[in-house]
Structure 1
Amino acid sequence: MLGMGLSPLQTGTPDSLLAPLYWILQFWSGIMTWLAQYTGLELLQYGFMHRAILVGLCIGVMAPLIGTFLVHRQLALIGDALAHTGFAGVAVGLFLNAVLDLGVSPYLTAVIVAMIAALLIELISEATDAYNDVSMAIVLSTGFALGTTLISINAGGLAVGVKQFLFGNLSTVSPDSAAILLVLFAVIIGVVGLTRNQLLYVTFDETAAAVSGLSVSWYNRIMVMLTAMVVVGAMQIMGVILVAAMLVVPVAGAAQVSRSFNESLLVSVVLAELAVILGIGASYYGKATAGGVIVLTAVAIYIVTILLGKLQTAVGEESTPEMGSIDVGQTESAGD
């Protein structure tokens, strides 16, 4: 069970650049197998669930990490635009495999197409002075149109294969797509770690950042490309339709109970991980679509954070000492 369908590496395929990642997947599967024996949980007994849980945990870090910057920049809807272009990338991969028999991973083509779309959003805004929502709408509609066109051209095989990408599916997280996700995770964490201060500066004051010598357009492009990576990575279990929710809902929940940017970032990751773990478990035992259950769980957690935020505010107001009222008459007589 430990190496169940882990990768072509275990079947005699020559060494590849992803070999260390397949070893990580094997090691993770071993941990999950031990937990299954220790806890008796059924969902931990299957290789595909091992990969789905790992992908979900990575998404729980990546999505709010990037989403926190997006929400503060009022770019929450960019996830939808890039998800639809990611869908076009999946359709491109499926089309190339069906017509040319290339054997390319649809998630790899989705990453490439989504990153190109992310750059187009920024370039359209810069070249035409259009608002970001205009460029996002153009790219979203173009990407979805391209995807549906490719599906209609070769409807026989693509229409069936594309369903899992629209709604997400725990059982279809393959070793290759999980390995790609790990690469995206490492890139996102590394880039944010190296450029955190610059991204924070650009997020809260673009004008001051430009005056200080930072290339605002360059860091804007970095942000949208990182968003594209998150969207494609999360698409595996969330699906195109719901993937943007993980960029926004945990961040919105964290904003209700956090008092600083760093605290909001940390809380949003905790909330996202909670939603992913509970959502995957509930979807497995309830035999429901994972993406939908995860989002509903995230929304339920968001409602709880609203209530906690209100309670926190009420307690804070009660604990604040009231200033004594000033008697105008007494003040005037004292002045006399």
Structure 2
Amino acid sequence: MSETGTLRRRFELIGVGLTAALAIAMIGLLAVDALRAYPVAGGLYEQARIAGWWLDHALGTNVFYHPFMWRSIATGILIGVVAPLVGTYLVHREMALIGETLAHTAFAGVAVGLLVSSTTGWNGSLMLVALVVGILGALSVQWLAERTDTYGDVPIAIMLTGSFAVGTLVISYGRGMSGINIEGYIFGDITVVTPSGAQLMAVISVLVVAVVVVTYKQLLFITFDEQAARVARLNVTWYNTLLIVMTAVVVVGAMQILGVILVAAMLVVPVAAATQIAHSFRETLLLSILFGQVSVVGGFAFSISQELPTGGSIVVVAIACYLLAILVSSRSTAAISTH
């Protein structure tokens, strides 16, 4: 390996190490927030609020002292890890729009949860309802794709439009009832990140990373040569289902920050940027996570400094990373479809 390649590899490993440390720190912060009623965690919680106050004082902001901002930032950091991680497999399988489809399915779940909450007084987690509906939607897409003779994207289009139609009908039905506020889930809003929603994102992140580590070779096999995987008697249906269910749970978690409309961007854009400069699938995987983190951190910084929506800021930074990757790459913009 050349000296330039060695240096590049070193920077990638440093970036991945820092990202992993940051993600672990965010999970720890969410754990302290969840357990703050207990003495030890309560002391750490107060220390964290003091540290946030000093950080606000140093930066001239009014952000880091508030626990709801911790949850939002922690959720965003974790999204920046798991969304590109799953998205790398989806992009290379030409399934980029599946994230948008499952986001619309989760939207229907949130709508149902809001309606039930407003009519019955139920105080359960809306994200848990969205998670269940999202997984059911993912399994339905998989079932339609395997049981019908239509083109591969037809079941995706049917599920995308059908689930959004169900969501709009439910919202219209409950429009006159109190407690129906769906805009934050459509466009993304850091204020909709509840403690239970942030904790759910932490659990999702740990599970998704663990599953990808354990099944990396199998998912890689079906991504690049599904027919050969079937000949090798790999249970392709099971791994396809696993991938689409992981996508569903990641989409539900990411919907809190990015909203239904923008959630698919974090599955696709960081991966698209990585494919412009990566030399292998493994490197694409690592670089997409790094681009995801740059997008999230940069988006939060831009959003806070300019008082703009966080979801849109994150996506704009991600697209800027993609354009920059094209400029520094010797490949054409068609590299994503051929790499």
> Which of the five TM-score ranges fits, normalised by the shorter chain?
0.7 to 0.9
2-structure distance, mates of 1:70, 1:27: 39
Q: CA deviation at 1:106?
A: 1.1
Which of these residues, 37, 48, 52, is aligned with residue 54 of structure 2? 37
Matched, 1:80 2:97: no
2-structure distance, mates of 1:122, 1:181: 24
Matches within 5 A, 1:269-288: 269-288=289-308
Which of these residues, 82, 86, 90, is aligned with residue 62 of structure 1? 82
- The aligned residue for residue 123 of structure 2 is 103
Q: CA deviation at 1:79?
A: 0.6
Q: List, as ranges, runs of 4+ consecutive aligned residues in structure 1 with deviation greater than 6 Å.
A: none
Q: CA deviation at 1:286?
A: 1.5
- The aligned residue for residue 148 of structure 2 is 128
- The aligned residue for residue 284 of structure 2 is 264
Q: CA deviation at 1:28?
A: 7.8
Contact 2:185/2:192 (<8 A) preserved: no
The 1:294–1:32 alpha-carbon spacing in structure 2 relative to 1, beyond 3 Å, is farther
**Letter in structure 1 aligned against 2:219:** L
Percent identical: 42
Q: CA deviation at 1:31?
A: 4.7
Q: Deviations over 1:151-195 (max 9, x none)?
A: 111103478511110111112311111011111111111111111
The 1:248–1:33 alpha-carbon spacing in structure 2 relative to 1, beyond 3 Å, is farther
Matches within 5 A, 1:141-290: 141-157=161-177, 160-290=180-310
**Letter in structure 2 aligned against 1:94:** L
Q: Deviations over 1:76-132 (max 9, x none)?
A: 010110010010011011111111222121111111111111111110011112223
2-structure distance, mates of 1:149, 1:283: 32
**Letter in structure 2 aligned against 1:117:** G
Contact 1:169/1:237 (<8 A) preserved: yes
2-structure distance, mates of 1:154, 1:242: 25
Contact 1:51/1:178 (<8 A) preserved: yes
**Letter in structure 2 aligned against 1:37:** W
Contact 1:151/1:159 (<8 A) preserved: no
What TM-score results when the alignment is normalised by the length of structure 1?
0.83
Which of these residues, 310, 324, 331, is aligned with residue 330 of structure 2? 310
- The aligned residue for residue 110 of structure 2 is 90
2-structure distance, mates of 1:28, 1:256: 42
Q: Deviations over 1:124-156 (max 9, x none)?
A: 011112223100111111110111111111103
**Letter in structure 1 aligned against 2:54:** Q
The 1:54–1:239 alpha-carbon spacing in structure 2 relative to 1, beyond 3 Å, is same
Contact 1:6/1:26 (<8 A) preserved: no
SS of alignment partner, residue 153 of structure 2: helix
- The aligned residue for residue 320 of structure 2 is 300
> Which is worse superposed, 267-276 or 150-159?
150-159
**Letter in structure 2 aligned against 1:196:** Y
- The aligned residue for residue 14 of structure 1 is none
Q: CA deviation at 1:34?
A: 2.2
2-structure distance, mates of 1:227, 1:153: 29
Q: CA deviation at 1:259?
A: 0.3
1-structure distance, mates of 2:190, 2:104: 20
Unaligned runs of 5+ in 1: 12-18, 313-336
- The aligned residue for residue 331 of structure 1 is none
Q: CA deviation at 1:263?
A: 0.7
Contact 2:274/2:291 (<8 A) preserved: yes
| Bigger-Rg structure (1/2) | 1
SS of alignment partner, residue 241 of structure 1: helix
The alignment's C-alpha RMSD in Å is 2.5
> Which is worse superposed, 44-53 or 72-81?
44-53
What TM-score results when the alignment is normalised by the length of structure 2?
0.82
2-structure distance, mates of 1:10, 1:28: 6
